[in-house]
Amino acid sequence: MIIGSNHIESHNEGLLKKHQNKLVFTASEIDNTEAVIQKLIDFQIAIPSWALGTGGTRFGRFAGGGEPRSIEEKIEDVGLLHKLNNASGAISLHIPWDIPQDYKAIKALASQHNLKFDAMNSNTFQDQADSEHTYKYGSLQNVNKAVRKQAIAHNIEVIKHGIELGSESLTIWLADGSNFPGQLNFRKAYQNTLESLEEIYDALPSNWKLFLEYKCAEPNFYSTTVADWGQSYSYVKKLGDKAQTLVDLGHHLPNANIEQIVSLLLMENKLGGFHFNDSKYGDDDLTAGALKPYQLFLIFNELVEGMDARGMNHAKDLGWMIDASHNIKDPLEDLLQSVEAIMIAYAQALSVDRKALEKAQEENDVVKAQEILQNAFRTDVRALVAEARLRSGAALNPVELYRSLAVRKNLIGERGLKTLATGL
């Protein structure tokens, strides 16, 4: 399935008049329209390979059909997204679900679709068919040194794959923890994990980053060894400059103030990147912005403020990734919606009147501060996001074009109805 530039052009032509009217109105509401559009054009969000298929739950999986069956087809799917929105210019691979065989061919395919290889993801939460030791009682934390060694070697292997593909980061998410009080000596589990991470860290090339994700619970339900941002921070601080914390929005205890976490990690130069998604109860991995768009905006508000204060490049200095799992939606449509929601939140944050907000804060003008933030949040910036796409040759309305081209039907025709995309 190939989406041609002619498809995009005729789609855009049909929507152009309406779009231009909206844009004129939006521009009249926002002072820095041009600067916002340029930042939106530069902004790219990596798509995780495992989100291209239906994840399901432990109760069942309802495959949608036409899902990618190989690393090549996953690259093609992200290529489709990127063609539609020009904002998904990277794929985040997962080992061993995506073992690259022919690096040269895979790199060539990716560059044909204008895609880069974002963070590599290791997996020590499942036993592989050929693995000698089990991760049933943890990986990097395990009381058994041989298990730890196996998990360390796997992570180093993942780095090697990444080097070949031109990736520059490794994301480590650990399922390690315990299910029952007394099962684990917390201090020893911490020490073992730290020593294991140190060995992995030592194998990182100088231009690489190590992102350490945290998660409050699941699959372990009594303790998790990297459970929150403070614990992740404590590890990455000890590891060194190349190690940073990764924030997955669904990995917090209920009502956690994620925007404050983000602000402080950024201040400490320890914010590595994100796994965007949304949730109501736990690690729900739902579409970004589907439930708490104001929270997403507040996170971006801190990011823009903090990155500008540190002179950081919004597009390059953090790892922007989606982490999603789909039960009922077409994964590609869901990912288009997530990217759109992230871009909207970013555009709104860029349009906040920073000087006025700072003044309101200095004067303890609480009402004014709220007015400023909510004014930005309540301004419809969708035309700016669409304009960024238009200028970069993408579709004004990606989901609409995806549907009118019957992309899923075509993929089912090519790949069949019964396909399994990931190991999930």
Task: Return residues touching Zn ion (CB under 5 A).
Answer: 248, 250, 275, 277, 283, 285, 323
Q: Taking the complex as a whole, how short is the minimal distance between the CB of residue 298 and ligand AOS, in angstroms? A: 21
- Give the residue carrying structure tokens 């929005």: 249
Structure tokens at 264: 């402080």
Token pair 């970069």 is found at 392
- Smallest gap from residue 284 Cβ to ligand AOS (A): 11
Instruction: Output 286 or 357, the one with its CB closest to Zn ion.
Output: 286
Nearer to ligand AOS, 172 or 266 (CB): 172
Which element (helix H / strand E) includes 121?
strand 120-121
94 binds, among ligand AOS, Zn ion, none (CB under 5 to 8 A by kind): ligand AOS
**CA 141 to CA 150: how far, in whole Å?**
12
Q: How far is CA 182 from CA 153, 215, 230, in A?
A: 29, 20, 23
Quick one: what does residue 121 bind among ligand AOS, Zn ion, none, with the CB cut-off 5 to 8 Å set by partner type?
A: ligand AOS
Distance CA 405, CA 389 (A): 18
Query: Which residues lie closer than 8 Å to 189 by C-beta, 6 or more apart?
Result: 138, 141, 176, 177, 178, 225
Shorter beta-carbon distance to ligand AOS: residue 211 or 300:
211
* Least distance from Zn ion to the Cβ atom of residue 296, Å: 14
346 contacts which partner out of ligand AOS, Zn ion, none, CB within 5 to 8 A by kind? none
**Residue 389 contacts which entry, Zn ion, ligand AOS, none (Cβ below 5-8 A, type-dependent):** none
CA distance 69 to 288: 25
Residue at shortest CB range from ligand AOS: 173
The strand pairing partners of 300, in sequence order, are none
* Size of the chain, expressed as the number of residues it contains: 424
Q: Which of Zn ion, ligand AOS, none sits in contact with 208, Cβ below 5 to 8 A by type?
A: none
- Cβ-based neighbours of 6, under 8 Å, separated by 6 or more: none
- Distance, in Å, from the CA atom of 281 to the CA atom of 302, rounded to the nearest integer, reads 24
177 binds, among Zn ion, ligand AOS, none (CB under 5 to 8 A by kind): none
Query: Contact positions toward ligand AOS, by CB under 6 A?
Result: 50, 94, 121, 173, 213, 215, 248, 275, 283, 323
19 binds, among ligand AOS, Zn ion, none (CB under 5 to 8 A by kind): none
Cβ distance to ligand AOS smaller for residue 115 or 158 = 158
Q: Which is nearer to ligand AOS, 72 or 284 (CB)?
A: 284
In the complex with Zn ion, which residue's Cβ is closer, 178 or 325? Answer: 325
| 3-class secondary structure, 326 | strand
Minimum CB distance to Zn ion smaller for 276 or for 300: 276
Q: How far is the CB of 231 from Zn ion (least distance, A)?
A: 16
Provide the minimum distance between the beta carbon of 102 and ligand AOS in the complex, in angstroms, as a whole number.
Answer: 23
Angle between helices 71-85 and 407-415 (to 10 degrees): 170
When CB distances are held under 5 to 8 angstroms depending on the partner's kind, the choice from Zn ion, ligand AOS, none that residue 302 binds is none
Token pair recorded at residue 310:
């540190």
Q: How far is the CB of 198 from Zn ion (least distance, A)?
A: 23
Nearer to ligand AOS, 209 or 215 (CB): 215
Compute the distance between CA of residue 322 and CA of residue 220 in angstroms, rounded to an integer: 23
Cβ proximity to Zn ion: between 251 and 415 the closer is: 251
- Among ligand AOS, Zn ion, none, what does residue 44 contact (CB within 5–8 Å per kind)? none
Would you say 53 and 422 are in contact if contact means Cβ atoms under 8 Å apart?
Answer: yes
Could you tell me the two tokens for 260? 């404050």
**CA neighbours closer than 13 Å in the CB half-sphere of residue 25:** 11
- Distance of closest approach, residue 288 Cβ to ligand AOS, in angstroms: 13
Structure tokens that stand for 339 in this block: 């990217």
Q: How far is the CB of 174 from ligand AOS (least distance, A)?
A: 9
Radius of gyration of the chain (CA): 22
Residue 335 Cβ vs Zn ion, minimum distance, rounded to whole Å = 14
